[in-house]
Amino acid sequence: MKKILLHAVLISVLAVLIVIAALSTLDRYTRHGQVFVIPDFVGADHEQIIDDYGSSFQFIIVDSVYDKSLPAGAVIQQDPFPGSKVKQGRNVYFIIVAQQPEQVVMPNLINLSIRQAIVSMETAGLEIDELSFTGHFARNAVVDQKFNGIFIEPGTLLYRGSKIELVLGDGGEQPMAVFPQIYGKSSTEAKRLLHLATLNVGHEYFLDDYDTLNGRVFKVEPYLLPGNEVEAANVITIWYRSVEKFDFEQFINDSLYIEQPDETMYENKDFDY
């Protein structure tokens, strides 16, 4: 009986020692209590960050995005966020500025309507440089696609964001456009609506401390109201005000007398043969 009790005691002691050893090992392995605060790396060069902090964290580049306004290699986004408390050796994920824009494939836009062409270009990551017209029976159909003034072959590799000139058919007469409702719209929305209406975008002026993020269309030249007719391919100059400093709802309702703007009613039909 005594032997049994002795063995039970020994087993219990051994079990306790094993648990203590395991917890001690786990504590050392996980560096319990050693907390590091993630700095704000956004805007800094990722290679310099790795040199300075490589012993504390494991850095992983998950993506790169081209932005000509930022230096190549700079960190755009990080995960975990600045101020996060982590253990040493934690993975830190970066999105950085690419050395050059991503290359995309020029689609074949010939014979597409302006609406179809714009959708194809948006999918490809390309932008419209200018719209022009030529004598052709298919009104508002693409009859030529140009890059830097010369025909661009479908399948050609271009940098994302490259600007393409589209030449449209005039349908055998002076093409007219219906001015769309762009007042109160962002720059991206306004330019898309103007292009869908076969109009060109001229200079853009951002008032209110050059607030491009919150800028909305406040004024255009020549002065046009939604629904007014104007020659197609006309160049529209745009002024923007910030929604933080200007009441666009009152401006549209009181000054333009537009109760329920509907941009779809102002978009040109695709084309007529």
Both 85 and 134 in one domain: the answer is no
Return the minimum-mean-pLDDT range out of 26-40, 43-57, 159-173, 243-257.
26-40
3-state class (DSSP) for residue 25? helix
Using one digit for the tens of pLDDT, what is the confidence trace for 191-245? 999 999 999 999 999 999 888 889 999 999 999 999 999 999 999 999 999 999 9
Both 136 and 73 in one domain: the answer is no
Domain count, the chain: 2
Both 233 and 194 in one domain: the answer is yes
Return the minimum-mean-pLDDT range out of 64-73, 111-120, 156-165.
64-73
* Reported confidence tier of residue 263, pLDDT bands at 50, 70, 90: very low
pLDDT score of 36: 87
Question: Is the pLDDT at 247 greater than 80, yes or no?
Answer: yes
Among 78, 97, 116, the domain-final residue is 97
Distance CA 69, CA 53 (A): 26
Q: What is the mean pLDDT of residues 97-119?
A: 94
271 within a domain of the structure (yes/no): no
Distance CA 104, CA 110 (A): 18
144 within a domain of the structure (yes/no): yes
Question: Is the pLDDT at 273 greater than 50, yes or no?
Answer: no
* Reported confidence tier of residue 30, pLDDT bands at 50, 70, 90: very low
Among 47, 69, 97, the domain-final residue is 97
CB 140, CB 109: distance < 8 Å: no
Q: Provide the CATH number for the domain around residue 116.
A: 3.30.10.20
Average pLDDT, the chain: 86
pLDDT score of 211: 85
pLDDT score of 67: 83
pLDDT score of 18: 63
Q: What is the mean pLDDT of residues 178-184?
A: 96
What is the domain extent for residue 39? 35-97
pLDDT score of 63: 87
Using one digit for the tens of pLDDT, what is the confidence trace for 46-57? 999 999 999 999
Both 78 and 126 in one domain: the answer is no
What percent of the chain is predicted at pLDDT more than 90?
Answer: 66
79 within a domain of the structure (yes/no): yes
Catalogue the E-assigned strands of 99-231.
Answer: 103-105, 127-134, 142-147, 150-151, 157-159, 163-169, 176-178, 200-206, 215-221, 229-231
Both 164 and 180 in one domain: the answer is yes
Cβ-proximal residues to 106 (8 Å cutoff; 6+ apart), any chain? 124, 126, 145, 147, 152, 153, 154, 155, 156, 157, 158, 164
Among 97, 112, 139, the domain-final residue is 97
